Amino acid sequence: MGMTMSQKILAAHADLNEVKAGQLIEARVDAALGNDVTAPVAINEFNKIGADEVFDKNKIIIVLDHFTPNKDIKSAEQSKKCRDFANDKGIVNFFDVGDMGIEHCLVPEKGLVTAGDLLIGADSHTCTYGALGAFSTGIGSTDLACAMATGKAWFKVPAAIKFNLKNKPSKWVGGKDVILHIIGSIGVDGALYKSMEFAGEGVAALSIDDRFTIANMAIEAGAKNGVFPVDAITKDYIGARAHTVYEADGDAEYEQVYDIDLATLRPTVAFPHLPENTKTIDDVGEIKIDQVVIGSCTNGRISDLRLAAGILKGKKVARGVRAIVFPGTNEIYLQAMREGLVEDFINAGVVVSTPTCGPCLGGHMGILAEGERAVSTTNRNFVGRMGHVNSEVYLTGPAIAAASAVTGRISDPDEV
């Protein structure tokens, strides 16, 4: 029996000719990632095991993004621990305030991951980089500590689910709608510890940003990782970076195969309090909102901001609604400024934030009060995710989010 794309990457990094689903392996990593929440724990464990140096100063990545700029003394201490460690160990890829961004937008932007890589990160949305044909997955801080010391990590080889995509999505339907549709169909545990492998001629209709969004939310279906084939769009994004292309064997084994016609999808909303609670915009009804958040590692890229600004330009945010945009990185922020998007946002009554994870995890820069509702382009809408346990989060793509900011209720972009 042949191997899936993910299994081939794992086998290569474990120096094995083949691996099978369920097999335990030890594999070399091309990069190990931490942030200001998870890296401090890993640093403590790194010191406990008596490690003196990291395995490769160029292959450790630490991004301060979750509670930065620091919101309180505790978050400042966490960042200081990361800063001191990076300075002491000579970490090359350390990104602090002023040179940072949301890690899963920043890492590919900086060229720190490419096709064929095996990257682990102490953050569940590390699966984002599967958009580039890499095997990337979230791990715990203890595993990160060991990887920083040894350059290796252990894995249970995942079985796979194949998603055959065909045709092209219609207007307003993007990567967020695709992955919400999938999660709504299979459930938040529908791909538990599986590799979600995307294939078919419909892949070519998805931009690299769409793919980042879809791979990012593979974890919301319980998946170990999500991965896309390496095609012309991928190669255009990674440019001259060295890479290895892995392709699934024709006789690779998949536990399930789903066929998805992108042309039939509609803009989609995930209702509280799980990403699987999906409805198309046609079935939403009248839901008034208090806040709109556009950004995050899921939808904070320049294409997302262009889409949102195009809807908001010349209009005003509804009275009683707070609208917040947070670009994924400083470079995205600058590009948005160059294109006049920031001016369009501000003229519409939107607050434009520095790149940060803050609103997404209810950390800062947009906490919800009791009884408030938010439309958000982030990736989770669990109870209390963005603030009070009695608040509500509705997940959407940037088109619905921008339209809803204008109307004050969850709205079809065609309405505005």
More confident residue, 309 or 358: 309
Burial of 25 from C-beta contacts in 10 A (0-12 / 13-18 / 19+) = middle
Q: What is the pLDDT of residues 60-94, one digit of tens each?
A: 999 999 998 999 999 999 999 999 999 999 999 99
Do 219 and 275 reside in the same domain of the chain? no
Span 280-302, mean pLDDT? 96
Looking at residue 313, its pLDDT comes to: 96
Q: Are residues 291 and 331 in the same domain?
A: yes
Q: How confident is the model at residue 283 (pLDDT cuts 50, 70, 90)?
A: very high
Last residue of a domain, one of 204, 228, 261: 261
Assess whether 242 and 213 both reside in one domain: yes
Residue 268 parent element (H or E): strand 268-270
39, 101, 123, 197, 341 from 401: Cα distances, Å: 32, 22, 25, 28, 16
- Of 204, 226, 261, the last residue of a domain is 261
CA distance 295 to 305: 8
User: pLDDT tens digits for 405-416?
Assistant: 999 999 999 988
* Residue 182 sits in the same domain as residue 298: no
- Whole-number Cα distances in Å, 202 to 190, 211, 352: 22, 12, 34
Once rounded to an integer, what is the mean pLDDT over residues 340-353? 97
Q: What is the mean pLDDT of the chain?
A: 96
For residue 376, give the CATH number of its domain.
3.30.499.10
> What is the 3 state secondary structure string of 136-185?
EEECCHHHHHHHHHHCEEEEECCEEEEEEEECCCCCCCCHHHHHHHHHHH
Say what the pLDDT of residue 84 is. Answer: 97
The CA distance from 104 to 295, in Å, is 12
Structural domain including 402 reads: 268-415
Taking residues 295-318, report their average pLDDT: 97
Measured torsion, CA atoms of residues 302, 303, 308, 309, in degrees rounded to the nearest 10:
60
Are 243 and 384 in a shared domain? no
Per-residue pLDDT for 13 more than 80?
Answer: yes
Better pLDDT: 358 or 330:
330
In this predicted structure, the answer to whether residue 107 has a pLDDT above a threshold of 80 is yes
Residue 1 confidence (pLDDT) above 80: no
Looking at the fold, whether 132 and 256 belong to one and the same domain comes out as yes
Q: How many domains does the chain have?
A: 2
The domain boundary residue, chosen from 261, 294, 329: 261
**How large is the average pLDDT for residues 140-148?**
96
Q: Work out the angle between the directed axes of helices 302-312 and 341-348 (0-180°, nearest 10).
A: 40
pLDDT, one tens digit per residue, over 261-279 is: 999 999 999 999 999 999 9
Q: How confident is the model at residue 228 (pLDDT cuts 50, 70, 90)?
A: very high
What is the CA 230 to chain-centroid distance, rounded?
A: 19
Per-residue pLDDT at 358 exceeds 90: no
State whether 254 and 278 are in the same domain: no
pLDDT given for residue 360 in this prediction: 86
Same domain flag for 293 and 220: no
User: Is residue 100 very low, low, confident or very high in pLDDT (cuts 50, 70, 90)?
Assistant: confident
- Residue pair 42/289 in contact by the 8 Å Cβ criterion: no
Please give the backbone phi and psi of residue 281, each rounded to the nearest 5 degrees, phi first: -60, -25
For the segment 55-62, the average pLDDT, to the nearest whole number, is 97
> Do 286 and 145 reside in the same domain of the chain?
no
Do 244 and 362 belong together in one domain? no
Residues 16, 156 share a domain: yes
CB 206 within 8 A of CB 176: no
Whether 367 and 283 share a structural domain:
yes
Kindly report the pTM of this predicted structure.
0.96
Token readout for 199 is 């294939």
